[in-house]
Chains A and B, each alone.
Chain A
Amino acid sequence: MIQHPGVLALLLASGLVSLLLTAAGWQGLQILRGWNLQSGSEGQLDLERRTYLVSTLVANALVIQILSLFLFIFTADGLHTQFVGAMCAAGSLAANAYGYPTLLTKVATCLVAGVWLILHRADTQGYDYPLIRPKYALLLLLVPLVLAETWLQASYLTGLKADVMTSCCGSLFGQGRQGLASELAGLPTRIMQPVFWITFGALMAAGIVLLRTRRGSTVFSLLSLAFLLVSVASLISFFCLYIYELPTHHCPFCLLQREYGFVGYPLYGALLGGAIAGLGVGALAPFRAQKSLVSALPRLQAHLAWSALILALVFTLIVGIWMFLSPLKL
């Protein structure tokens, strides 16, 4: 294991979050089994008192969990100098078999945690715990995900050894090789460009329809998720080329470096934030008829839809302006 402040912070944070979420998951099981607001029993009143504390703790733990994704990427980028051949986080993550699975699990956890926080926010707007069951059901899905991530991350970080030979990003994201990274890098620009702009246009249109008519929450949610996936693919396929001003460099991690103004952080932040907000709109849709949420939920959905649209626009503006100003023309 490499002694690095980021490594220690990540291990500590994931350990604490796992402990908290496991305890909260136990509470969640009790709620799913025994919650009955009609009952005035001692057990029910005890659950009501505890859920307030547990929800607050989980909410704070999940904020740490989401931030830890960015710390993980930042740490992986900072560690690349320790490995032979690594030029950025791409090489660090390839230093052992757990790096990329950890990253993918962290992204999935980040999305689910974001949606949980939105459900929690909506739940606190109602006086009768309107989303208590779906909130804790989602928490029970989140707990194994976080535990898996903690194990993967610990395996990755504790298994890191300095001076091991790893691959550079040019090799990992080079065209004509085996693997998902190479296939993404090899996606033809002439197909990916229209796919990106069509997805962006469809998301904007769905957002406007949703904000005007309050209809189409599920479509908007699916398009938000599609925009995340298409944008990452487009970033690797062609946006990166304009940013690096190199027709063959497809690495999505070099964007996180000083040479490129750390532009990767706002880009990935906007994509993840937008996807979470968009997914939140759909997650809330089934509960709009709840009496205690009838005025709060449409307002919250509108805020989320606006957030998703603005963040998608921010991403598109950054890559679009970079593309426009880049001396590279494909």
Chain B
Amino acid sequence: MIELVDVVKTFQAGLATPFTAVDGVNLNVPRGKVTVLKGPSGSGKTTLLTLIGCMARPTSGRIHLHGLPAGTLPQLAKGDSLEITSLPERFLTAIRRRTFGFIFQQFNLVRGISVLENVLLPTYPTGEDHGDAEARAIERLESLGLARHLHASVDRLSGGEAQRVAIARALINDPTVIVADEPTAHLDSKLSEDFMMLMGQFKAAGKTLLITSHDPIVYSSPLADLVVEMRDGRIVAGP
């Protein structure tokens, strides 16, 4: 479970034009469930996601990860808790690599290299045996229906295919939490429904999913266990 306590993120703090993107958010994201953050553009969904995903630090407040899997950090046992906003950068890097898998709105695939190479990218800093990582990447891509594109350049993929590559890349280090930022923003209805079906499979596999979206296909989906509505950086409806 991810627990947020009084989380505030202010940009340009101390300057003439401060802007508070997340304002005193308290939230519990349950383990093994799908949580959707919905709200209009500028409501603070993506900022909150970057704070939870250790890509930025809050201005104040704390974020706790409870019930950690074994091997999150060498000093911690399975089931331990960890407060992530105070972590020095080297530990944050380890958490980002092993705990979170990110699916970005723009997919952020690296152009000019193949599908397989894109999926393998997050494995390189872990020092894992390349053969093992490659076998796992091929398995992930095959399960997402991308077997025939393994060695194709990502520039030639359709939007839906590119997103599935991004999903395979997010899953390659077997994270416990999948974080997706507006994942259906560039997809048509059919592809959006396919995406939610995939999310259903991951939920069934025990992954925790945290999705930001203002797409009704996502937040009205029966898969969504918890829908949190945000506006002006605050939670206005939800738990």
Contacts and interface: CB of A to CB of B under 8 A. Distances in A.
A9 B61 CA distance: 46
Contacts of B83: 37, 128
Interface in B40-86: 57-62, 73-75, 82-83, 85-86
A48 B86 contact: yes
Interface in A280-321: 291-296
Contacts of B75: 126-127, 291-296
Contact of B90 (A48, A124, A295): A124
Contacts of A261: none
A49 interface: yes
A40 B61 contact: yes
Contacts of B90: 124
A222 interface: no
Contacts, number: 44
Contacts of A42: 8, 59-60
Given A127-B75, A294-B75, A41 B60 contact: yes
A52 interface: yes
Nearest to B89: A52
B82 to A, nearest CB: 7
Nearest to A294: B75
Interface residues of B, number: 22
B60 A45 contact: yes
B79 to A, nearest CB: 14
Nearest to B5: A40
Given A40-B60, A49-B57, A295 B74 contact: yes
Contacts of A197: none
B85 to A, nearest CB: 7
B86 to A, nearest CB: 5
A132 to B, nearest CB: 11
A48 B75 CA distance: 20
Interface string A48-60: 1100100000000
A70 interface: no
A40 B51 CA distance: 14
A170 to B, nearest CB: 54
B197 interface: no
A159 B138 CA distance: 73
Contact of A129 (B58, B59, B88): B88
Given A40-B5, A126-B75, A294-B75, A52 B58 contact: no
A128 B89 contact: no
Interface in A119-159: 124, 126-129
A124 B75 CA distance: 13
A28 B75 CA distance: 27
10 contacts: A40-B6, A40-B62, A42-B60, A45-B58, A48-B86, A124-B88, A126-B75, A128-B86, A293-B75, A295-B75
Given A40-B5, A45-B86, A291-B75, 10 more contacts: A40-B6, A40-B85, A42-B59, A42-B60, A49-B57, A52-B89, A124-B90, A128-B86, A129-B86, A295-B75
Interface of B: 5-8, 57-62, 73-75, 82-83, 85-91
Interface of A: 37, 40-42, 45, 48-49, 52, 124, 126-129, 291-296
